[in-house]
Amino acid sequence: MKKYEDQISNFIKLNKKELMALNDFFGWSLNDLELKEAQDYFKKIKTAPFRGDIETIAQTWSEHCKHKTFSCPVKFKYKGKTKRYKNLLKETIVKATNKLNKPWCLSVFSDNAGVVEFGKDKKWGVAFKAETHNHPCAIEPYGGAETGVGGVIRDILGVGLGAKPVLNTDNFCFGRLDSKMPLPKKSLSAKRIFAGVVDGVRDYGNRMGIPTASGGIYFDDGYALNPLVYVGCAGMIPRNKIHKKVYSGDLIVSMGGRTGRDGIHGATFSSANIDEDTSTAAVQIGHALNEKKALDALLKARDLNLYSAVTDCGAGGFSSAIGELGQETGARVYLEKAQLKDSKIAPWEIWVSESQERMVLSVPSKKT
């Protein structure tokens, strides 16, 4: 692999204005406080970061990945009374779930999907995950919808040691199809977004043999520029396959699609405002047949106990998948061994690319 000199040698010396200029140039979508926090860290360890270091921080801290809005302080008025939350998510949904502590909730807030008990014999669980794919669908409706569905299917594959996807679901909010509202330059019409999203969700699921079992739709001009596209997936998992663990000495194995430049900055793009300069290159390229092959192979490997943990390459690609799996053990990554779509891709691009249909496994060395 070609050697890339991508160390940002002056990063720790830049002032606020220079940091923001660098941020805008590279498309990190970090705010000034986040840039300062990153700069202070590299000052503390007395080293200049490489491009991949800041790209990893940018995707990890993006609204798309971290959901900062859900975890930030919120104050609002309801029926004349002021209500305050220090952390909206933890003090509402998480608090209520933990307080109820139902035994049939087998996995909550700890994996790629939630799992609840299923069946009288209690030997199975139902996994479910839903997420939004709004920005990608606003600029590339068909591809954005396809990769949205592909992503939640992989979340089901990546829960525990792997669940089998059995159905998809969706909810859409679009601008009115008969709207006369003027649109900014390069914006897509509600009709085009509507048609592309519906076709994309349908086609990806059908090609994988997974039906779209339910859905809903709503039209309002408030969604004319940025539609709301919820896609979800449910799957079945044996109860004895719900938990996973990475062990020191396990090997990192990637399976599924190859890694390319498509989807780079997908997480940061999804967290930023859409404007005339927004590029469709941030939208990943889907390939449902590749994901179907990965699904079939993964479930066979699961039943043969060939790996100890699995997760999907979602936003942030290898950086998030390997980062999550190696949270307790650490990881040594050989990027030059990645299967590539483009031999000229830089190391940092391999690391954060959001190319689709990829899963990462933690495999005991004795299983290889």
Q: Which two tokens stand for residue 200?
A: 């994309």
* Core vs surface per residue 231-267: b (16+ CB within 10 A) or e: bbbbbbbbbebbebebeeebebbbbbbbbbbbbbbbb
Q: Which two structure tokens, joined as six digits, stand for 81?
A: 């009374």
Tokens of residue 358, six digits: 């990829």
**Are the CB atoms for 240 and 162 separated by under 8 Å?**
no
User: Residue 278 has which token pair?
Assistant: 């927004």
Active site residue 64: yes
Catalytic residue among 133, 135, 265, 287: 133
Cα–Cα dist 148/132, whole Å: 7
Does residue 287 carry a catalytic annotation? Answer: no
**Measured between alpha carbons, how far is 303 from 169 in angstroms, rounded to an integer?**
27
Structure tokens at 64: 């798309």
In sequence order, the β-bridge partners of residue 361 are 253, 310
Instruction: Select which of 64, 135, 265, 287 is catalytic.
Output: 64
Catalytically active residues are: 64, 133
